[in-house]
Structure 1
Amino acid sequence: MAENRALRLETVVLDCPEPLALAEFYNDLLGWNGVEGDDRWASVTGPDGAKVSFQRDPEFLAPTWPEGERPQMLHLDIKVEDIDAEHDRVVSVGAKPLGADSPERGFRVYADPAGHPFCLVT
């Protein structure tokens, strides 16, 4: 398969009611390089150039994870060395455990402050 260098993923964008607040959460969670943006659009960028952005949606309703009337459309998997050691830290920055642990498969599920599910994975 030929490589297409003309295409490059710029960012992953999550809708939310407060972009700056959610960007701060992910910046703290990931230990990235700071927040850029305003109350309509904000981004965090990692040391390798990966970017996650947040777009204001005043009518945003959080997913009803794992099922329900508003199922998740996507989630982020965040690689960690020690899932137990990271648990307290991610909760301290504002993550909410969703109680869907699967130690045998190497992941734990949380929600960010806007309600988007994300996983810590080993």
Structure 2
Amino acid sequence: MDNTTESTPAIRYVAVTFDCPDPAELARFYGEALDLPALYSSEDFVLLGREGAPGLAFSRLAGHRPPTWPDPAHEKRAHLELGVDDLDAATTRMLKLGATEPAAQPAPTRWRVLLDPAGHPFCLTTLA
């Protein structure tokens, strides 16, 4: 029987990374929307966040194909849920930043589905 104590390595959640055709453009969009500064930036990768807190990252992917939500032909893999106080005001702000609003809205009085400049769906909700 071995009495050596092995320490468990610490693992920290750092960021969620989105594939996209233009990391700088997507970082600008989310950075302005969420008031997050760039912690690291290169031509192919941008990490937004604050020191010591999880962030959002954007990685260039050649041949990136945006999801076709709500059409399942090219499904979304993940999406952000962003909490807001005023659904209409937040929708207007995100549209001004470059989001688009698809016609399909499953529950428009509870949350709004928008598409970021790279076509990733994200939701605005008053539930959180």
TM > 0.5: yes
Match of 2:107 in 1: 102
Identity %: 34
Letter in structure 2 aligned against 1:19 = P
Letter in structure 2 aligned against 1:36 = Y
**1:35, distance to aligned residue in structure 2 (A):** 6.0
Q: Give the number of the structure whose alpha-carbon radius of gyration is greater.
A: 2
Letter in structure 1 aligned against 2:55 = K
Does 2:99 correspond to 1:92? no
2:30 is aligned, of 1, 26, 30, to 26
TM-score between the two structures when normalised by the length of structure 2: 0.82
1:76 is aligned, of 62, 80, 92, to 80
Between the aligned partners of 1:5 and 1:107, the Cα distance in structure 2 is 39
Match of 1:50 in 2: 54
Point out 4+ residue stretches in structure 1 off by more than 3 angstroms: none
CA contact (8 A) 2:87 2:125 kept: yes
Cα distance, 1:7–1:35 mapped onto 2, change above 3 Å = closer
**1:6, distance to aligned residue in structure 2 (A):** 2.2
- Extract unaligned runs of 5+ from structure 1: none
Letter in structure 1 aligned against 2:75 = P
- Extract unaligned runs of 5+ from structure 2: 1-7
**1:94, distance to aligned residue in structure 2 (A):** 0.3
